[in-house]
């Protein structure tokens, strides 16, 4: 059981300082979670700390590959709204 | 437009602070005079707080604090564009060791640099190890540099004692509201007590921590400045209340900044089409919130890693590899710096004395009260002179000339997103942006100006003037105002000015 960080991570460091298991490490592209170290914070905290502070939706996945913070859950911008705004910008 | 008499909403705070209400202070020379001596001493050579000093002294920020513990609707943590220039956006993250090295390199090469700030790109106090390690080393190795820090306030109460240890004398707290209802519209979530907390509940905690932090800092004699982002329709009216409260609690400055919101930035407000304030709206609110604290308007929303004199970014000269190659003898540099600072102080003192002599004479010989105040925009790159080409100006200083004299009003940033790389902006829109940012101004003073912008400015009812190139700003503004009186400019009504803004002075007279 371990979470994972994927490429949408923006390297903001917020999760690194909080991890009780020192499972999070920097790489040349983005932060990653060492699966053998990650405890999903069990025994330390009620909620996985990395996923509780990460500001980027869909950057951290659970052990089944589902986003801990799905699109729209943090920014309040629904995926449709974001898509529409991006299209409008590109059309300019 | 609503015209309210300045000072009404904050009269209690005003009289407590010395009874000098907004706009009636006359010449900007008095800006610091009403503050207690120990505060004057602390701020008089801080470029963000002093009108005089910001022409001469410089500050820099180092980006050592990437993590953040809250989300604001005007921030997008992904955004990083080299042409962008707003808080929270930086290109080069530094370790504390690198930051100390960079600071010393800049201080040695730009002796005018007096202030080192940590402002981000996240929240400095959400990165306590990195932030305090930087402060600790600098206090030790470069004692002639002042330190300051800005924070969203969430972790502030927990950090106050540590801050006091590092001898930091300026803390800026961004307070956008004191009402959780409004807070929920600005902050979607915070990270608190090991959990993410959404909505009103999160906003309430944030507000409590901000207020508590403010009180704790004031108790310990640490200067507190409060920044607020003006978000039309969300907190614009409410900010007057915020202003009253934070001043009552002892914040010595309240600085209202405009929301910067473009869909391109991918922020909640940007994507949702929340607009930023028009320059005039911003100025009206700033007038109301300023109280007697006129000088705070010098604070710009500078890049978190900006280097150089305010408004001028010299970051390119101090990239990591360039710093590595520098060999800095800081003890030697400190002597040079002390000499340069003394020279500037002397120049400031002389300027001050000269102005005191001049201001004893009236601005206009005629009974000038019947003439309305005029706003003039200045293109300057520093030294208090009109020394910038109109087309090069990334921002304008706005001064007001009136019967009472000449006073600094605000900075107006020009929308200059991405000019030059051809992917996200056009030249025409840059000119249009400049002109839009000059709304309400009747004259623009610059060192030089091209034919095309000249025509368009005239068409917009703004008179370009290049005759005062290289002259001191205030003298030129005074002279132009007198010319306007002499040539009968006030006899004609200006199209579009009928409903235009009246300054506080005009209201006081009316
Ligand atoms: S879930 Fe907990 S243990 Fe696993 S990486 Fe995140 S913070 Fe570390
Ligand atoms: S908090 Fe999220 S975005 Fe920031 S470094 Fe960790 S995974 Fe990446």
Compute, in angstroms, the gap from residue A53 CA to the centroid of ligand 2: 8
* Closest alpha carbon to B266 in A71, A78, A46, A85: A85
Residue nearest to atom 3 of ligand 2 (CA): A9
Task: Give Cα B241 distance to the centre of its chain.
Answer: 21
Q: For residue A52, which residues of chain B lie inside 8 Å, CB to CB?
A: 191, 194-196
Residue B192: per-residue pLDDT: 97
Torsion (CA) B197, B203, B208, B210 in degrees, nearest 10: 110
Q: Which residue has the tokens 């996945």?
A: A61
Q: Would you write out chain B's pLDDT as a tens digit for each of its 510 residues?
A: 333 332 333 333 333 333 333 332 333 344 555 556 666 666 665 655 666 666 667 778 888 998 999 999 988 776 544 334 444 445 568 899 999 998 998 888 888 788 888 887 889 999 999 999 999 999 999 998 889 899 999 999 999 999 998 768 689 999 999 999 999 999 999 999 999 999 999 999 999 999 999 999 999 888 898 989 999 999 999 999 999 999 889 888 888 888 888 777 778 888 888 988 888 888 888 878 766 554 445 554 444 444 555 455 666 778 788 888 888 889 999 999 899 888 888 887 787 777 777 665 544 444 445 688 899 999 988 778 898 888 888 788 888 888 878 888 777 777 543 333 334 444 446 677 778 788 889 999 999 998 888 988 998 889 999 999 999 898 999 999 988 888 877 765 554 443 333 333 333 333
- Partner A contacted by B119 (CB < 8 A): no
**Sequence spans of domains, chain B:** 10-324, 362-508
Query: Which of B67, B188, B194 minimises the CB distance to A14?
Result: B67
What distance in angstroms lies between residue A24's CA and the mean position of ligand 1's atoms? 7
Chain B nearest-CA distance from A61, in A, is: 17
- For B147, the enclosing helix (H) or strand (E) is strand B146-151
CATH of segment(s) A4-91: 3.30.70.20
A67/chain B closest Cα distance in angstroms: 16
Q: Least CB-CB distance to B194: which of A11, A47, A55?
A: A47
Angle subtended at Cα B399 by Cα B483 and Cα B365, rounded to the nearest 5 degrees: 35
Half-sphere exposure of A38 (CA within 13 A, CB side): 23
The closest ligand to the CA of B69 turns out to be 2
Q: Is A26 touching ligand 2 by the criterion CB < 6 Å?
A: no
CB atoms within 10 A of CB A51: 20
Q: pLDDT at position B99, please?
A: 92
Residue B420, SS3 per DSSP = coil
Tell me which of A56, A75, A78 to substitute to probe the interface with B (most B C-beta atoms closer than 10 Å): A75
Beta carbon of A41 within 6 Å of any ligand 1 atom: yes
Q: Is B69 on the interface with A (CB under 8 A)?
A: yes
CA distance A54 to chain B (A): 9
Give the position of tokens 């490490």. A25
Which candidate, B505, B311, B286, places its Cα nearest to that of B396? Answer: B311
Sign of torsion over alpha carbons B319, B320, B322, B326: positive
Put simply, the answer to whether B268 touches A49 (Cβ < 8 Å) is no
**A13/B195 touch (CB, cutoff 8 Å), yes or no:** no
Sheet containing strand B170-174, edge to edge, reads: B253-258, B223-230, B170-174, B146-151, B113-121, B58-65, B307-309
Nearest to B269 by CA among B238, B303, B231: B231
Neighbours of B122 (CB within 10 A): 29
Distinct helix (H) and strand (E) counts, chain B:
16, 15
**Given CB atoms, is B193 within the 8 Å cutoff of chain A?**
no
Domain boundaries, chain A: 4-91
A-proximal residues of B, 327-366, CB under 8 Å: none
B265 Cα to the center of ligand 2, angstroms:
19
Tokens for A56?
């980027």
Write down how long chain B is: 510
Our CA-based measurement puts residue A31 at a distance from the nearest CA of chain B, in whole angstroms, of 13
Ligand 1 atom nearest to A18, measured from its CA: 7
pLDDT at B123: 92
In CATH, what number does B362-508 get? 3.30.420.130
Select the residue of B77, B191, B266 nearest A52 (Cβ to Cβ): B191
Which among A53, A56, A88 is the nearest to B191, CB-wise? A53
Q: Which residues have a Cβ under 8 Å from the Cβ of B161 and sit 6 or more positions away?
A: none
Q: What is the DSSP letter of B423?
A: S
For residue A60, give the ligand 2 atom closest to its CA: 7
Check B196 against A89: CB less than 8 A apart: no
Neighbours of B210 (CB within 10 A): 25
B188 and chain A in contact, CB less than 8 A: yes
Contact B263 A11 (CB under 8 A): no
A8-32: average pLDDT: 93
Whether the CA torsion B40, B46, B51, B53 is positive or negative: it is: positive
- CA-nearest residue for atom 1, ligand 1, is A40
ipTM of model over 0.85: yes
Residue A63 has pLDDT above 90, yes or no: yes
Question: Can you read off the two tokens belonging to residue B331?
Answer: 């003890």
CA distance B57 to chain A (A): 32
* Cβ neighbours of residue B314 closer than 8 Å, sequence gap 6 or more: B110, B307, B308
Is there an atom of ligand 2 within 6 Å of A15 CB? yes
User: Is residue A59 in contact with ligand 1, taking CB distance under 6 Å?
Assistant: no
Tell if the CB–CB gap between B122 and A89 is shorter than 8 Å. no
Residue A16 CA: which ligand is closest?
A: 2
CA-CA distance, B51 to B343, in Å (whole number)? 18
Say if ligand 1 is within 6 A of residue A24 CB.
Answer: yes
Please report which helix (H) or strand (E) contains residue A89, including its range: helix A79-91
pLDDT at B500: 38
Nearest CA to ligand 2 atom 8: A9
Residues B394, B86: contact at Cβ < 8 Å?
A: no
Which value, to the nearest 10 degrees, does the dihedral of the CA atoms of residues B46, B50, B53, B54 take? 90
Q: Rounded CA gap, B248 and B91, in Å?
A: 38
Residue B423 CB burial class (10 angstroms; 0-12, 13-18, ≥19): exposed
Residue nearest to atom 1 of ligand 2 (CA): A54
Give the closest ligand to the alpha carbon of residue A38.
Answer: 1
Ligand 2 atom nearest the C-alpha of A54 is 1
By alpha-carbon position, which residue is closest to atom 6 of ligand 2? Answer: A15
- Nearest to residue B202, comparing CAs of B213, B212, B192? B192
Partner residue opposite B271 with nearest CB, options A10, A11, A82: A82
Contacts of B151 (CB under 8 A, 6+ apart): B123, B124, B125, B159, B171, B172, B173, B174, B213
Which of A10, A46, A89 shows the shortest C-beta gap to B78? A10
CATH number of B10-324: 3.20.20.70
CA within 13 Å, CB half, B489? 17
Cα separation, A41 vs B87, in Å, equals: 33
Closest CA of chain A from B24, distance in Å: 44
């Amino acid at each position: 059981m371990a979470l994972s960080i994927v490429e949408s991570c923006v390297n903001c460091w917020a999760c690194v300082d909080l991890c009780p298991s020192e499972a999070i490490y920097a790489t040349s592209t983005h932060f990653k979670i060492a699966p053998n170290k990650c405890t999903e914070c069990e025994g330390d905290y009620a909620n996985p700390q990395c996923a509780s502070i990460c500001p980027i939706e869909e950057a951290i996945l659970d052990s089944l590959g589902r986003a801990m913070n799905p699109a729209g859950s943090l920014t309040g911008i629904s995926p449709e709204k974001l898509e529409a705004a991006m299209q409008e910008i590109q059309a300019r | 437009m609503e015209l309210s008499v300045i000072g009404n909403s904050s009269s209690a705070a005003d009289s407590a602070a010395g009874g000098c209400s907004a706009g009636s202070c006359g010449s900007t020379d008095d800006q610091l005079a009403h503050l207690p001596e120990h505060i004057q001493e602390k701020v008089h050579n801080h470029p963000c707080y002093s009108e005089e000093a910001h022409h001469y002294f410089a500050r820099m920020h180092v980006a050592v604090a990437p993590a953040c513990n809250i989300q604001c609707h005007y921030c997008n943590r992904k955004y990083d564009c080299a042409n962008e220039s707003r808080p929270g956006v930086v290109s080069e993250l530094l370790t504390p060791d690198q930051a100390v090295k960079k600071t010393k390199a800049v201080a040695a090469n730009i002796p005018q640099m007096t202030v080192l700030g940590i402002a981000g790109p996240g929240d400095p106090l959400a990165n306590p190890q990195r932030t305090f390690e930087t402060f600790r080393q600098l206090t030790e190795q470069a004692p002639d540099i002042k330190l300051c820090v800005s924070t969203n306030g969430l972790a502030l109460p927990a950090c106050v004692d540590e801050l006091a240890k590092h001898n930091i004398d300026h803390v800026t707290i961004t307070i956008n509201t004191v009402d959780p209802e409004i807070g929920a519209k600005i902050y979607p979530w915070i990270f608190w007590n090991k959990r993410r907390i959404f909505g009103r509940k999160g906003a309430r905690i944030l507000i409590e921590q901000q207020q508590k932090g403010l009180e704790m800092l004031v108790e310990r004699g640490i200067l507190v400045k409060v920044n607020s982002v003006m978000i039309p329709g969300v907190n614009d009216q409410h900010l007057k209340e915020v202003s009253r409260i934070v001043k009552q609690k002892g914040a010595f400055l309240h600085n209202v900044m405009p929301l910067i919101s473009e869909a391109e930035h991918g922020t909640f407000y940007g994507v949702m089409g929340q607009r930023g304030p028009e320059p005039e709206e911003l100025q009206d609110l700033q007038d109301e919130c300023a109280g007697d604290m006129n000088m705070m308007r010098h604070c710009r929303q500078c890049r978190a890693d900006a280097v150089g004199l305010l408004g001028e970014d010299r970051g390119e000269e101090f990239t990591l590899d360039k710093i590595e190659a520098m060999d800095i003898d800081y003890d030697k540099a400190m002597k040079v710096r002390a000499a340069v600072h003394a020279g500037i102080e002397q120049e400031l003192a002389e300027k001050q004395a000269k102005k005191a002599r001049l201001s004893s004479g009236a601005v206009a010989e005629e009974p000038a009260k019947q003439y309305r105040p005029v706003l003039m925009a200045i293109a300057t790159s520093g030294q208090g002179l009109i020394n910038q080409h109109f087309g090069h100006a990334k921002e304008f200083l706005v001064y007001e000339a009136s019967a009472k004299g000449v006073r600094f009003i605000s900075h107006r940033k020009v929308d200059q997103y991405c000019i030059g790389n051809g992917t996200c902006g056009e030249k025409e829109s840059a000119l249009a942006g400049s002109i839009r940012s000059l709304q309400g101004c009747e004259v623009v003073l610059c060192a030089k100006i091209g034919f095309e912008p000249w025509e368009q400015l005239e068409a917009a009812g703004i008179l370009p003037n290049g005759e005062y190139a290289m002259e001191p700003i205030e003298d030129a503004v005074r002279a132009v105002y007198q010319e306007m009186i002499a040539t009968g400019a006030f006899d004609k009504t200006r199209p579009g000015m009928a409903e235009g803004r009246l300054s506080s002075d005009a209201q006081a007279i009316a």
